[in-house]
Amino acid sequence: MRQQVGTNLPKVGSYNQNVVLDAIRSSGTTSRVELAERTGLTPQTISVIVRRLLAGGLVREDGAQPPAGSSGGGKPRTTLRVEPTAGYAVGVHFDPGQIGAVLVDMAGTVLAETRRGVHAGLGPEEAVALMGRAVRKVVRAAAIPPRRMLGVGLACPGPIDQELGLVLYPPRLAGWDRVPLAAMLERATGSRVIMDNDATAAAIGERWSGVAKNIGNFAYIYMGTGIGGGLFLSNQVYRGPFRNAAEIGHVVAAPDGPPCYCGNRGCLEAVACPAAMVADARRLLAGGAGGALAAAYAKDPGSVDHEALCGAAAAGDELARSVVDRVAAHLSNAAVSVTNMLDVELLVLGGPALGAVGEIYRAAVAEALAARPIARHIHRVPVALSPAGGGAAAIGGASLVFHHAFAPQLTTLLSPTAPAVAPRGAHQ
Amino acid sequence: MRQQVGTNLPKVGSYNQNVVLDAIRSSGTTSRVELAERTGLTPQTISVIVRRLLAGGLVREDGAQPPAGSSGGGKPRTTLRVEPTAGYAVGVHFDPGQIGAVLVDMAGTVLAETRRGVHAGLGPEEAVALMGRAVRKVVRAAAIPPRRMLGVGLACPGPIDQELGLVLYPPRLAGWDRVPLAAMLERATGSRVIMDNDATAAAIGERWSGVAKNIGNFAYIYMGTGIGGGLFLSNQVYRGPFRNAAEIGHVVAAPDGPPCYCGNRGCLEAVACPAAMVADARRLLAGGAGGALAAAYAKDPGSVDHEALCGAAAAGDELARSVVDRVAAHLSNAAVSVTNMLDVELLVLGGPALGAVGEIYRAAVAEALAARPIARHIHRVPVALSPAGGGAAAIGGASLVFHHAFAPQLTTLLSPTAPAVAPRGAHQ
């Protein structure tokens, strides 16, 4: 993984084809002329690649339109767009608390979804059976042609061994140790399974069809039971040489803070995850504070949960809001550090734990990124909430399949092994 | 900068040639068989490229050696290495306090150096005149053939606009605002000048000929008047889309810490730069502490400086050591955050402000990286002191020239413009 390798013509051909497909995808609609400008490829190369994409059914050509700014003269341009029905993927999100699945088309539209809670202490066999059932359910609901089903993408809590498809030793799944979850789900579904951790999957989903479609460098902060992260740098998923990068939840947020399960101290996750927030709220409630939340939980302050806390904060309860603001300040510090380190163009917040307070976090982080990064005079870093809400990891799971098949990846262009198989059109 | 672009055959040829040269450089000595294994290129391609490198004088071939592990039979292998005399570069380090220059050969050996202090309030014209004089001095001292002089690399305090060769608004150079330093130094020396900030230059120097020769992913923390950083990710310098990445000095180290000149609060630089250390020591001395440093500065605690402080800490003075340990703790937190974010293989500490306490910092950061990163069970991240000492930025400056001409760069492979000129042999 540390070696710098050369490349060759077949790899370049496959890479260029994916570059063109990616440019079409991220543009929405575009023309051959624009594709040549955007990709730096010659009009001849664009023409050959587009013909191949059309023949493979991956792209559709819409009727001729006059060129922008023309008064009707000149050669009309036809527009190209990704063919949404060219292929479908199922995304599965496995979380210690629930299992969700979505069926998504090539354009990123969710056609079917399902979700169910699971009990703590769930074992791998039972989990895989539930995931398999969820996959069958969304496939049936969407009624897609089986031959256009490209595969299943599985988003699950880290740490994982992506190459071997193992869940390694998730902090919140006792007894799960090096479980070959990808292979088990392949057996249960009969589909190829691509696995990644939930935060990376969510980031890839945002790039494939969300708020980061056109963004080459962004950081994703995923707020779930824990806090994870995903990074796109120079148009590529950045995983690091040992595939453990983007652990934004374990940036030091409070140097004298509490120990984190990871072995570090004062991690962002340790001070800002739902459990830390709830502990904080219970402490404040037990201290005899006033307000709506205190009144509602007067009898049993220990029973307040994350959902109630976020709901109260969104409704203006002062105590709840102070807990949320403290988390927003930690998120802001981490976001400033990430921005100063990586000079990203966009920061995305997503995941189920945003709950009712996502906009409070977004506004606080946006204010910090407008005022504090060293390069703020050169460019403003916007902050976006994932439009996928709590479904970000499941949609991300589906995008793992598309990303693997169709994104232009340097790991393929510069792989020391034989060239990857050229992308297949789903119609072939 | 956000677009994903394709590539073509001429760019691939040029890129592959640099991949091979880089593999030879980082190996020290190697063979054609090893090159094929390492680069993933075919033996035929290796053979063609090596012939070209030999003809260009960039590489030399040493006598036949029996293959490793053989008992004398089999076809003997000839070994290849970079020809140190193939080209030379001058590195200039411009610092608000001094100007240094080195002359370096292709193998990274320093053949001549010079350094002089400069007064505060130095203007651009005077600075360029002094830099030009330093360049001429080292070129004369090394007596190299003028036609093998590849250029001048200028390492200077950020922020800079690298493409335009401008020093933007360095915090410690009052009145320097968008100074076209690269163009001015080109006029003064008659050589092509490549400019970068001091920390990035130092990181490139470490990769070219220092402790990171073989490392694809590392972070460099540069301790000078301020604290800068450099990043190599996936074998490439990572600059970020707006070229302001790797500002490790502006990671939030103390959330409630003092304001930093950059506009942020509690930055690593604000709590760990030499000026902060000296202020800390003066405060402790004024508070009536004991020990050798206190005795030496009993009459005027306000006159203690960074060098005296570090010297006392290295000699075991308790007060001085407490100041240094505090800085080491901040560095350790930042190093853990960077490691959890980027999963690097190596962390390098360098720069003039390491002074006498570099090893104290190195040991503390190494201890933290052994115990705290989330992936520590998967791989240990070593911590290295730059062997270049206070000369890291000047040597890095020279390596900018070699890196620009000979490193396999994705920005060239994947540039939307015409292919870069194929690397020239210095003998042509």
Distance CA B185, CA B187 (A): 5
pLDDT (mean) for B247-276: 96
Question: Residues 7-26, chain A: which have Cβ within 8 Å of B?
Answer: 7-9, 12, 15-16, 19-20, 22-23
Q: Are A221 and A349 in contact (CB under 8 A)?
A: yes
Three-state DSSP class for residue B3 = coil
Residues B216, A2: C-beta atoms closer than 8 Å: yes
The pLDDT assigned to B31 comes to 95
Cβ–Cβ below 8 Å for B40 and A5: yes
Q: Please indicate if any CB of chain A lies within 8 Å of the CB of B98.
A: no
Q: Which of A19, A241, A334 sits opposite B216 (nearest CB)?
A: A241
Beta bridge partners of A22: none
**Among the partner residues B214, B333, B343, nearest to A242 by beta-carbon distance:** B343
Q: Within 13 Å, how many C-alpha atoms sit on residue B158's CB side? A: 30
Contacts of B3 in chain A (CB under 8 A): 23, 38-40, 216
Pairwise CA distance, residues B105 & B424, whole Å: 16
Contact assessment for residue A217 and residue B241, using Cβ atoms and an 8 Å cutoff: yes
pLDDT at residue A121 greater than cutoff 70: yes
What is the least distance, in Å, from the CA of A144 to any CA of chain B?
32
**CA nearest A212 in B: which residue?**
B2
| Res. B422: pLDDT tops 50 | no
Q: Are B244 and A343 inside 8 Å of each other by CB?
A: yes
B12, pLDDT greater than 70: yes
Q: How far is CA A131 from each of CA A71, A92, A401, B68, rounded to the nearest angstrom?
A: 56, 7, 17, 52
How many helices and strands (H and E) does chain A possess?
14, 14
Chain A, nearest residue to B374 by Cα: A262
pLDDT tens for each residue of B183-227: 999 999 999 999 999 999 999 999 999 999 999 999 999 999 899
Q: What would the pLDDT profile of A219-241 be if each residue is shown by its tens digit?
A: 999 999 899 999 999 999 999 99
- The helix/strand/coil state of A78 is strand
How far, CA to CA in Å, does B80 sit from each of A408, B34, B47, B72, B110?
A: 34, 10, 12, 20, 22
Chain B residues within 8 A of A375 when measuring between CB atoms = 159, 242, 244, 247
Query: Which residues on A lie below 8 Å from B408 (Cβ)?
Result: 4
Q: Which two tokens stand for residue A35?
A: 């594709």
- Whether residues B2 and A340 touch (CB distance < 8 A) is answered with no
Q: Which of B87 and B168 is assigned the larger pLDDT?
A: B87
Q: Which residues contact B76 (CB under 8 A, 6 or more apart)?
A: B64, B65, B66, B67
Cα(B424)–Cα(B428) distance, rounded to whole angstroms? 7
Contacts of B2 in chain A (CB under 8 A): 214-217, 235, 345
Query: What's the rounded Cα separation, in Å, for the pair A327 and B379?
Result: 31
Distance from CA of A326 to the nearest CA of B (A): 12
State the CB neighbour count (10 A cutoff) for residue A355.
21
If one compares A310 and B243, the residue with the highest pLDDT of the two is: A310
Q: Pairing relation of β-strands B98-105 and B110-117? A: antiparallel
Q: B221-232: string of b/e by CB count within 10 Å (b at 16+)?
A: bbbbbbbbbbbb
User: How many CA atoms lie less than 13 Å away from B217 in the CB half-sphere?
Assistant: 21
State pLDDT tens for residues A141-166.
999 999 999 999 999 988 888 888 88
Q: Which residue of A has its CA nearest to B46?
A: A6
Stated length of chain A: 428
Q: What is the pLDDT of residues B279-313, one digit of tens each?
A: 999 999 998 888 999 999 999 999 999 999 999 99
Q: Percentage of residues in chain B with pLDDT exceeding 90?
A: 77
**Average model confidence (pLDDT) for chain A?**
91
Model confidence at B175, pLDDT cuts 50, 70, 90, reads confident
**pLDDT average, residue stretch A258-275:** 96
Select from A249, B93, A37 the least CA-distant residue to A45: A37
Q: B97-134, pLDDT tens digit by residue?
A: 899 999 999 999 999 999 999 988 899 999 999 999 99
Within 10 A of A360 (CB to CB), how many other CB atoms are there? 18
Q: Which two tokens stand for residue B143?
A: 């007596």
Instruction: Tell me if the bond preceding A416 is cis, omega within 30° of 0.
Output: no
Cα Rg of chain B, angstroms: 23
Span A378-397, average pLDDT: 94
pLDDT at B75: 58
Which chain A residue shows the shortest CA-CA distance from B408?
A: A4
Residue position matching structure tokens 């042999």: B425
- The Cα–Cα gap between A59 and B100 comes to 58
Find residue B222's DSSP bridge partners: B228, B350
Lowest-pLDDT range of A320-324, B242-246, B413-417: B413-417
**Average of per-residue pLDDT values in chain B:** 91
DSSP string, A181-240: HHHHHHHHHSS-EEEEEHHHHHHHHHHHHSTTTT-SSEEEEEESSSEEEEEEETTEE---
**Which of A27-31, A84-88, B10-14, B69-73 is modeled with the greatest confidence?**
A84-88
**B159 close contact with A: CB closer than 8 A:** yes
Q: Map residue A376 onto helix, strand or coil.
A: coil
The beta-carbon neighbor of B252 closest among A239, A337, A378 is: A337
DSSP H helices, B273-357, are 274-286, 292-296, 306-314, 318-342
pLDDT band at A416 (very low <50, low <70, confident <90, very high): low
Measured in degrees and rounded to the nearest 5, phi and psi for residue B404 equal -60, -40
ipTM: 0.92
Q: What is the average pLDDT across B14-20?
A: 93
Task: Tell me the nearest-neighbour CA distance from B115 into chain A, angstroms.
Answer: 30
Residue B337 phi/psi, 5-degree rounding, is -60, -45
At residue B65, the pLDDT reads: 59
Nearest-by-Cβ selection for A372 from B263, B334, B376: B263
What distance in Å separates the CA atoms of residue A427 and residue B101, rounded to the nearest whole number? 63
pLDDT at A421 over 80: no
Rounded Cα–Cα distance for residues B423 and B122 (Å)? 38
Name the residue facing A4 among B23, B336, B343 (closest C-beta): B23
Q: Note whether B241 contacts A: Cβ–Cβ < 8 A.
A: yes
